Amino acid sequence: MELIWDPPRAADRDGGCLWRLAALLERAVADREVPGAVALVARHGRVLFHRAFGYAQLIPVPEPLQRDALFDLASLTKVVATAPALLALVEDGALRLTDRVAEFIPEFAGEGKDAVDLRHLLTHCSGLPAWSRYYEIEGTAEDRLAAIIATPLERPVGRHFVYSDVGFLLLGEVVRRVSGTPLDEFARRRFYEPLGMADTRFVPPARCAARCAATEVYDGVPLRGRVHDENAASLGGVAGHAGLFSTAADLALFCQMLLNGGEYAGTRVLSPPGVRAMLAPQSPCLGDARGLGFDINSVYASIRGDLLPTGSAGHSGFTGTSLWVDADLGLFIILLTNAVHPDRGRPATRLRSRVSNIVAAALAPDAAAVPDRVRDPVRVRPGADVLRAEECRLLAGRAVGLVTNHTGRCADGTPLLDMLLANGVTVKALFSPEHGIAGRQDEHVDSGRDERTGLPIHSLYGETRRPLPEWLDGLDVLVFDIQDIGARFYTYISTMGMCMEEAARHGIRFVVLDRPNPITGLHVEGPRLDLSLQNFAGYYPIPVRHGLTVGELARWHNAASGIGCDLEVVPAHGWRRGMWWDETNLEWVHPSPAMRSLMAATLYPGLCCLEHASLSMGRGTDAPFEVFGAPWVDGRRVAAEMNARALPGIRFTPIHFVPQLREHAGERCGGARCTITDREALRPVAMAVHLAEVLYRLHPGDFSFEHMPRLVGSERVVQHLQRLVPAADIVAEWAEEEASFAEERAPSLLYG
């Protein structure tokens, strides 16, 4: 099938649906998301959209962008040059994907690298680091290549997905050594000339500079026709990871070749099995589905958007470029932007996703009928993973302070601090919340130093709850990454709010790496905090169960409190409001010593309301916040009365237990174990009010209301209980508060 190059009129059925795409890209330029963009969409061999928007350069003089503009493709080089070249050599019988890299680059051997094969490099599972500043090495390109080859492993081979420019730098060298031809020459002769891709090349000649979209400004002059990637530039502009220039029209020929199974206009450049291998899952490590070079369903796959089926494939480039191909739908989407002009710091990630969503909705209404071809065991990626996927550009060149603890980590378990340092981020200080940087302490937390890095650790749960001015001196950004559990009195969110306020006061940017709310983002429950009761365990005037992620809560606080924080939230990838933690396939890491399970987190918004009512909530047992009791509690009577109320989603079993911490430590307590029978129906805060009513009626001399207002957040609720107002009536009273907050929070929501 050859492309039909006459985009349809607006009145036509298919192309006319894409008016939203034009509006989106016009708005993106107007809002300065990108200086310029060229988009091309085709389905079933027909080009439905091919337009340019905005500017090829903004400085020194703005120039309109043309449809035939040449773009620095950055990492699209990996799938338009390097991976196809390797597949061509496989088809020629020159090598196998299972061949060890050291067979072709003998000096690569040693230090555990002998086990690395070509498939490991193509799928980013080699154990090599993401990148390094090879361009800072003095000497020749050969000296820098030697340093690349000598790069040691950071992880076990084949165990972890780490997107690696280093691996593709090596693959480019494999192509050169096996074929006897430099990568640029090999790709030109094998692919670009046969396919008619006349504008696709490494190192464009000087006469083409005026056609090139500008990238970053160096020494007052934007780069045009010179590769933006420093490592590629230091190797003469030809490298396996970056360096290729092309146009949307040329890339359309390449994409249609893939859809045709390796052939275009009667010329075959790859075999159908070779194309299928590139676009099918090949990763030896679990968690991120990658083809040979191509992305399928990793954290980088946000390019696909929310509507295209899993199993399609594509890639993106640092400069703001991307392509996505869906063989089942006969569809491809090309978006070329110069997002790094005049400087980096504006990733095109959201724009790519929105483009794909518009195209999918307009052209692939039957996409839901296409079965997912990949089952990625990791469905959700925290904001830390998204930041890593974007190579931490958001923090490049900034002095960073981290507000974090042991829960600040990527989906593969890599601690946030390690990930940032590995990506060249300048971290100046750590800030620890309640329970300390390791999440093990249960009382006062002292400041100190990180043993591995020597970085200062400033405690925000010691002499002060707020970062002191001298701690913030010299910082450009505060990054918050701590797992919340969705209840107002879980103090990590109080720490976040106070840090936001101090960041605003000192002109420091505040970045939240978002994480799922473990108990979903659907349910809002309980009275809103009366600000006369504001304390560290109740900082925001919100219901007990707020149904927000930390990122959404930060957005709400910034707007509702008018603090003027320079806030940026990096959303979690793949999370939806209705998802519970066990639907994310993320590992459960105890957010605090007593928060040991999703069951505990689900019950916590209710049971914690009663924690200081002379009751133990099971701290120091194997089931904290799943049991409650005291020496004076008659567990049989309490369980019987609670079960008789038939509260939705919960049952009670009488028990005895001996807590080892906090209230009644070392004493034999009567009480009950809570068993959740329907977590969607359960209303834990309402359950707590019913439980308080039962305990007060059965044990009026022992049950204490003294500290309950501080946690429930309402004197009125406690007064009603003391006056024996039925629990059902008390719960009904706060329905209006729940509804008002649900409406108030709507503009801050990030997830559907």
- CA 26, 27, 30, 35 torsion-angle sign: negative
Looking at per-residue confidence, does 338 or 701 come out higher?
A: 338
Tell how strand 669-676 and strand 650-657 pair up: antiparallel
Q: Are 453 and 480 a contacting pair, CB within 8 Å?
A: no
Confidence of residue 427 (pLDDT cuts 50, 70, 90): very high
Residue 366 has pLDDT above 80, yes or no: no
Res 7: pLDDT = 64
Q: How far apart are CA 522 and CA 514, in angstroms?
A: 17
In a domain, 746, yes or no: no
Q: How far apart are CA 240 and CA 254, in angstroms?
A: 18
Residue 686 has pLDDT above 50, yes or no: yes
Mean pLDDT for the stretch of residues 423-450: 92
Res 612: pLDDT = 83
Res 310: pLDDT = 73
SS3 175: helix
Res 10: pLDDT = 43
Picking from 100-104, 351-355, 662-666, which range would have the lowest pLDDT averaged per residue? Answer: 662-666
**Can you give the residue range of the structural domain that contains 614?**
598-713
Confidence of residue 286 (pLDDT cuts 50, 70, 90): low
In a domain, 593, yes or no: no
Q: What is the pLDDT of residues 510-548, one digit of tens each?
A: 999 999 999 999 899 999 999 999 999 999 999 999 999
In a domain, 187, yes or no: yes
**Residue 225's CATH number:** 3.40.710.10
Residue 604 has pLDDT above 90, yes or no: yes
Mean pLDDT for the stretch of residues 470-497: 97
Confidence of residue 11 (pLDDT cuts 50, 70, 90): very low
- CA-wise closest residue to 350 among 303, 301, 294, 298: 303
Q: How far apart are CA 229 and CA 98, in angstroms?
A: 29
Provide Rg for the chain, Cα atoms.
29
Confidence of residue 18 (pLDDT cuts 50, 70, 90): confident
Q: How far apart are CA 744 and CA 552, in angstroms?
A: 12
Q: How far apart are CA 289 and CA 297, in angstroms?
A: 5
**What percent of the chain is modeled with pLDDT above 70?**
96
Confidence of residue 365 (pLDDT cuts 50, 70, 90): low
Tell which of 545, 565, 588 closes a domain: 588
**Residue 663's CATH number:** 3.90.1150.140
Residues 418 and 516 in one domain: yes
Q: What is the pLDDT of residues 225-271, one digit of tens each?
A: 999 999 999 999 999 999 999 999 999 999 999 999 999 999 999 99
In a domain, 720, yes or no: no
Residue 370 has pLDDT above 50, yes or no: no
Tell which of 536, 556, 588 closes a domain: 588
Picking from 325-339, 442-456, 459-473, which range would have the lowest pLDDT averaged per residue? Answer: 442-456
Q: How far apart are CA 168 and CA 147, in angstroms?
A: 14
Residue 374 has pLDDT above 80, yes or no: no
Q: Are 616 and 628 a contacting pair, CB within 8 Å?
A: yes
Confidence of residue 170 (pLDDT cuts 50, 70, 90): very high
Confidence of residue 346 (pLDDT cuts 50, 70, 90): confident
In a domain, 376, yes or no: no
Residues 520 and 451 in one domain: yes
Residues 581 and 641 in one domain: no
Q: What is the pLDDT of residues 179-227, one digit of tens each?
A: 999 999 999 999 999 999 999 999 999 999 999 999 999 888 999 999 9
Res 345: pLDDT = 73
CA angle 414, 417, 419 (to 5 degrees): 50
In a domain, 740, yes or no: no
Determine how many CB atoms are found less than 10 A away from the CB of residue 140: 12
In a domain, 35, yes or no: yes
**What's the Cα-to-Cα distance from 47 to each of 331, 525, 659, rounded to whole Å?**
10, 51, 69
Residue 375 has pLDDT above 50, yes or no: no
Residue ranges of the alpha helices (H) in 260-289?
272-279
**Residue 490's CATH number:** 3.40.50.12170
Residues 190 and 108 in one domain: yes
Residues 496 and 622 in one domain: no
**What's the Cα-to-Cα distance from 306 to each of 163, 168, 253, 297, 727, rounded to whole Å?**
22, 28, 26, 12, 43
Residue 367 has pLDDT above 60, yes or no: no
Res 16: pLDDT = 54
The pTM of the full predicted model, rounded to 2 decimals, is 0.59
Q: What is the pLDDT of residues 228-237, one digit of tens each?
A: 999 999 999 9
Tally of structural domains, the chain: 3
Residue 234 is inside which H or E element, if any? helix 230-234
SS3 724: coil
**What percent of the chain is modeled with pLDDT above 90?**
79
Residues 83 and 201 in one domain: yes
Residues 695 and 653 in one domain: yes
Contacts of 193 (CB under 8 A, 6+ apart): none
- CB burial string 438-463: b at 16+ within 10 A, e below: ebebeeebebeeeeeeebebbbbbee
Q: How far apart are CA 631 and CA 633, in angstroms?
A: 6
Residues 417 and 507 in one domain: yes
Confidence of residue 13 (pLDDT cuts 50, 70, 90): very low
Res 17: pLDDT = 65
Residues 125 and 240 in one domain: yes
Residues 576 and 480 in one domain: yes
- CA-wise closest residue to 695 among 721, 669, 656: 721
Residue 39 has pLDDT above 90, yes or no: yes
Confidence of residue 662 (pLDDT cuts 50, 70, 90): confident
Q: What is the pLDDT of residues 43-88, one digit of tens each?
A: 999 999 999 999 999 999 999 999 999 999 999 999 999 999 999 9
In a domain, 377, yes or no: no
Residue 421 has pLDDT above 90, yes or no: yes
Residues 306 and 435 in one domain: no
Residues 604 and 529 in one domain: no
